[in-house]
Amino acid sequence: MARPTSGQSKPGRTLLVLLALILAMGGAMFLQPAFTPKLGLDLAGGTTATLSPNTPNGTPPSEESLNLAVNIIRERVNGTGISDAEVAKSGDNIVISVPGADKDEVIKLVGTTAELRFRQVLAADAAQPQPSTMPTQAPTPSSSAAPSGQPSGSASTTPSVQPSANAPKPSASPTGKALSSALTSPNPSPSATAPARANDAKANDAKANDAKANDAKANDAKANDGKANNAKGNDPKATPSATPSADPAQDPSLAGIDPALIKQYNELDCAKNSGLGVQDDPAKPYVTCDQDGTVKYILDKAEVVGSDIDTASAGVQQTTGQWVVQLDFKSAGASAWSALTTKAYQAQAPRNMVAVVLDGVVITAPNINEPIPGGRAEISGSFTQESATKLADQLKYGALPLKFVRSSIDTISSTLGNDQLMGGLIAGAIGLGLVVLYSLLYYRGLGLVAVLSLVVASIITYEAVVLLGTYAGFGLSLPHIIGLVVSIGITADSFIVYFERIRDEMKEGRRTLRAAVEVAWVRARRTILIADAVMFIAAIVLYFLAVGGVAGFAFAMGLTTLIDVLVVFMFTKPFIALLARLKFFAKGHKLSGLDSERMGPETVRTTTPQEA
Amino acid sequence: MGLGRRLYRGEIDVDFVGRRKLWYSLSAFLLLFSIAGLVFSAATNGSPLNLGVEFKGGSVFTFAAPQATIEQVRETMTDAGVHQPIVQQAGSGWRVTTETLDEANLTKVQESVATELSVDPKQISITSIGASWGGEVANKAWIGLGVFMLAIILYLSMAFEPKMALAAIVALVHDLVITAGIYAWSGFEVTPATLLGFLTILGYSLYDAVVVFDMIKEVTAKLGTTSKKTYTMAANDALNHTLIRSLNTSLVAILPVAAILFIGTTVLGAGTLKDLSLALFVGMLVGTYSSLCVATPLLVTLKEREPKYQAIARRLASTGGGKGGTKRAAVAKN
């Protein structure tokens, strides 16, 4: 190996550093452990849908409204229990990627625009008992906030709304969704007034909001046919538990409600179909669940809609130190809101609640403690900062509704994905093989250096792709593969530039090979850096100004360019510097690619085979 | 000595720059031919290029049905209510392009293909593009192109000099127009993947020019009042000097692309791989030509107008210094 050099370079040391880097990356792969790249949907099979915002006057949507829309679609995705689905912004568009080629599922997720409505509650009931097999990842807030089961008298346990100008009424510390005892007790009594805490009351904190009550089985009801809540195929277990035998018609709380709605309500199984993503008609009453799937409601028609909201914000109520949500209505909305709260205030429970319906499900149903004129309201309950902020954002979406058009939907079957992957890999292998063959023929001994450099570059690229997949969620897609294959040429070119420079130096015939290697490097380095910089600029511009596949391609090109610089500096050059000490190269053996036949100023030999 | 042998030894001497007029006329002819193609295509097909569904909007179904005949596939589509399906066969796979269908009809076609051609519905790939989407992709591409050119002009002006940047960009536009012209005449489909290819050509075409210019800069840096070479000769020497590298690079770059093109057309049928590699293949061939025969002569034309080099040219002309003399310049030594 290397003798200590007197020269300006320490090739051995550089190579060791590079080796350490490769091993470190390999070690990181072992830690995971991950040895194969994460595949994008076009290679693994799956569905991608792109939504473009459709604003009335064609102006680009605000960042905030886009973020809210992304969150709502994320809620939908989580609500359906699809695993590994991704919702991401891409410029002004939203891209939803779902593994597994079921386009109907995705269309259901993205087919409707989320709307916000305020509806008076007509009836409420505990939803289906929790499925015995709760998803393991769902937190169980009840363990920390175990309901005591005692009627809590006057203390309201639901969130309540009051004019924010007034001093807020502190609400009870334990929280839960109160259900009128009339509905929760097996034998409904006509005089249901004192709200009791239902046994499945859930702490209204943020963790509970994320709890997925419905099991991860996708429901098969079509959300797009308008009749969202006809849970199909009711099995015996799916009858409402709260009113097993009571005839709903006798239940006073259900008085005056269209029997068809009551039937729908009785058959509704929140675990199967919570109504998430349904576009409810504001002019009609509506049957749905709350977002956790623990309570079901019959709701009156929407007297106030999302576009009536001016703004919403979360904050701490000065006097009580509690987190509350402030809600401001536009002038037209304010009078409608005043009328709605007056109506609710005068009604018996549960009709004293106004449900806020977002994207088809009830996100909160506060009690109305007094009529609220003036267009400013404050929702209190036992909010945490997180849950208050979330509710404020959800309400704000009503003020910034964003309609989307589905720009594209792309379903790749697993076989096609597999074919594309194989095709890309085979093309890469053939391309690499041809470049190797050519380098060996043309550069002979030096070609071996080129081949080894390509091998090193390939190893580093593979490690980088695997690690990016593991740590950054980078999914390898077809454009990436194409980008990598196309970049083989760029990588190989750096070696060619350097080799040609070395040959130039040798042709002069004034230097030893060892000196030529160093002088040529200084020159080649500049060319390589400028040329790679041009490629890198191209990659960056494409990455930031492109959509979809182009960005992936650009990313691969940029990555390769960086790796190319790394390999040339840390492998090719030091490796040649080492080789230059070998007799085989230094004396210009015929197979070294630096032979005198090749380098000599004039020659008369004609016996060498011809290559080009 | 044979050409291959001379190439191998790097002893090649072609008077590229001296044949400026030839290259300019050839390029002018190619450009006119390309523009004529675009105009002709616009007149006959209503659009200069044969745009794919991604730009026009439409739905594409891809599935494997080895036993099916083309009539069966077409019938299946029309049964499902598709008006004018375009059916293409690739290997055992089928690719059917239709007008943009809504969800209900997508599902209908999917079911129809599943039952009538006995294909597993999960193995049917569907792409459906709204008409406005393609416009957005195209707009982004144009913006990207503009920003890219600006960035490159700035960078090359700093790294080399503005005249080199200008020559490189002109060569680049030249490549794009000719590639587009080839697409117009041949009727190859333009998809986002093709755009990807076009944009990559930009990178390559510049990459090549950068390496040549780097050498020209080095060789011409030594030209002074007493030098025995005009800028033209020096540039030509530099060009010949990097010729091997240019040809090598182009070959090495085209090999993998040719591999993708081969795989894309034979194994996978129509699709991203084929669209992209075809554009790259055509573009690289044009790009190699332009970096040698357009960018450099153009640069020389620009530089020879500078007083300094005019003076050298006059002095050499009067002393009978070779016009088109192609003695190899000694490569600069530091």
Cβ contact A602:B328 at 8 Å: no
pLDDT band per the 50, 70, 90 thresholds, residue B203: confident
Residue of A nearest to B130 (CA): A407
Please, is B74 exposed, middle or buried when counting C-beta atoms within 10 Å of its C-beta (0-12, 13-18, 19+)? middle
CB A110 within 8 A of CB A406: yes
Could you write out the three-class secondary structure of B174-193?
A: HHHHHHHHHHHHHCCEECHH
Determine which of B55, B106, B113, B125 to mutate to test the interface with A (most A C-beta atoms within 10 Å).
Answer: B125
Per-residue pLDDT at A209: 36
* Closest Cβ opposite residue B211 in set A408, A435, A531: A531
- Could you state, in chain order, the average pLDDT of each consecutive group of 10 residues for chain A (612 residues)? 48 88 90 83 83 77 84 77 76 81 70 80 71 37 34 47 54 34 33 33 35 35 36 36 41 72 83 74 86 86 86 87 89 88 86 87 87 86 86 80 78 81 83 85 84 91 90 82 80 84 78 84 89 85 73 86 92 88 70 58 36 31
Task: State pLDDT tens for residues B45-78.
Answer: 778 888 877 777 888 888 888 888 888 888 888 8
What was the pLDDT predicted at A460? 93
CB-facing half-sphere around the CA of A165: CA atoms within 13 A: 7
DSSP per-residue letters across B229-241: --HHHHHHHHHHH
How far apart are the CA of A583 and the nearest CA of chain B, in angstroms? Answer: 22
Contacts of A548 (CB under 8 A, 6+ apart): A50, A90, A95, B137, B192
Q: Do B256 and A427 touch (CB under 8 A)?
A: yes
CA distance B147 to A541: 7
Question: Model-level pTM?
Answer: 0.69
Amino acid at A139: P
In angstroms, the separation between the Cα of residue A495 and the nearest Cα of chain B is 10
Q: How many CA atoms lie within 13 A of A480 on its CB side?
A: 22
Order of strands across the sheet that contains A86-90: A86-90, A93-99, A46-53, A404-412, B125-129, B58-64, B93-98, B86-90
Q: How far A437 CA sits from the closest chain B CA (Å)?
A: 10
pLDDT of residue B7: 60
Supply φ then ψ for residue A409, to 5 degrees. Answer: -135, 140
B239 touching chain A per CB within 8 A: no
CA distances from A131 to A271, A435, A578 (A): 8, 60, 69
Cβ-based burial of B207 (10 A; exposed 0-12, middle 13-18, buried ≥19): buried
User: Smallest CA–CA separation between B114 and chain A, in Å?
Assistant: 13
How many angstroms separate the CA atoms of A420 and B273, rounded?
8
B114 touches chain A (CB under 8 A): no
- The alpha carbon of A286 is separated from its chain's Cα centroid by a whole number of angstroms, namely 31
Strand spans (E) along A40-150: 46-53, 86-90, 93-99, 116-126
